[in-house]
Amino acid sequence: MKIAWVPAVIVLLAGCGMQQPPTSYPSSTFEHRVADGRVELYWSCTQPEAGILQVDGIAQSPWTQDIRFLEVELVGVNAQGRTVGATRGPVRDIVLHTNAPSPFRLLLRTTGAEARMDLYYQYRHRGESDNGFGFPRFGTEFQRSFVRDACSGGHRAQRS
C-alpha cells in the first residue's frame, strides 16, 4: 500500500514545482518590438486619458549575457526636433537574466506639440575588459540605444 502512494506523491510534487509556460509570446501581446543584439524590448502605447501617453512593455535578454540597470525613457519631440516632454524609469528587475522578462511602464503628460515619441534605453553589460586576473568584469560596458517614433510602425534600434 505504501508503494502505491509513492509514485502518486512524486508526480503530484513534481507538478507543483513546474512553471506553466506563458500563455502568449510577447510579440502577440505587444504592438512594437526592437532588439539590439543583447536586449529585446516589447511595448504598446496607449492613451488612458486625454493628455496622457502610457507605454507598457517588457525587456528581456534571450541571449546568455546578463544585463544590469536597464532604464527606459520616453521623449516627446516637436516638429522642429526639440524635446517638449520626457519621462524615464527602470525596468522592474535590476538584473535581466536570460529569457526572464522584466516589465516597465512609462506615463508621459503630453502637451499636444509632439510630432513623435522617441524611446531611449540604456543598460550595463559584461564587457571585454578583465579585472587583471583573466576574468571579465561585470557591468563594465555601457550601452545606450533609441527607437525613433516608438509609437508608430517598424522599428530598429539605433545607438545614441
- pLDDT at residue 106, as a whole number: 97
Q: Per-residue confidence of the chain (160 residues) as pLDDT tens digits?
A: 444 444 433 333 333 443 333 334 566 789 999 998 889 999 999 999 999 999 999 999 988 677 899 999 999 999 999 999 999 999 999 999 888 999 999 999 999 999 999 999 999 887 655 555 656 555 478 889 999 999 986 656 566 5
Confirm whether 66 is domain-assigned: yes
Which position has the grid cell 539605433? 158
- pLDDT at residue 23, as a whole number: 37
Distance CA 11, CA 6 (A): 9
- pLDDT at residue 18, as a whole number: 35
Confirm whether 25 is domain-assigned: no
Confirm whether 134 is domain-assigned: yes
Could you list the residue range(s) of the whole structural domain that residue 47 is in? 40-90+119-154+156-160
Confirm whether 55 is domain-assigned: yes
- pLDDT at residue 26, as a whole number: 62
Count of structural domains within the chain: 1
Say if CB 84 and CB 74 are below 8 A apart: no
Confirm whether 14 is domain-assigned: no
Confirm whether 73 is domain-assigned: yes
56 CB neighbour count, 10 Å cutoff: 16
Confirm whether 84 is domain-assigned: yes
- pLDDT at residue 66, as a whole number: 77
Confirm whether 143 is domain-assigned: yes
* Residue type (1 letter), 43: W
Say if CB 106 and CB 91 are below 8 A apart: no
Distance CA 30, CA 56 (A): 8
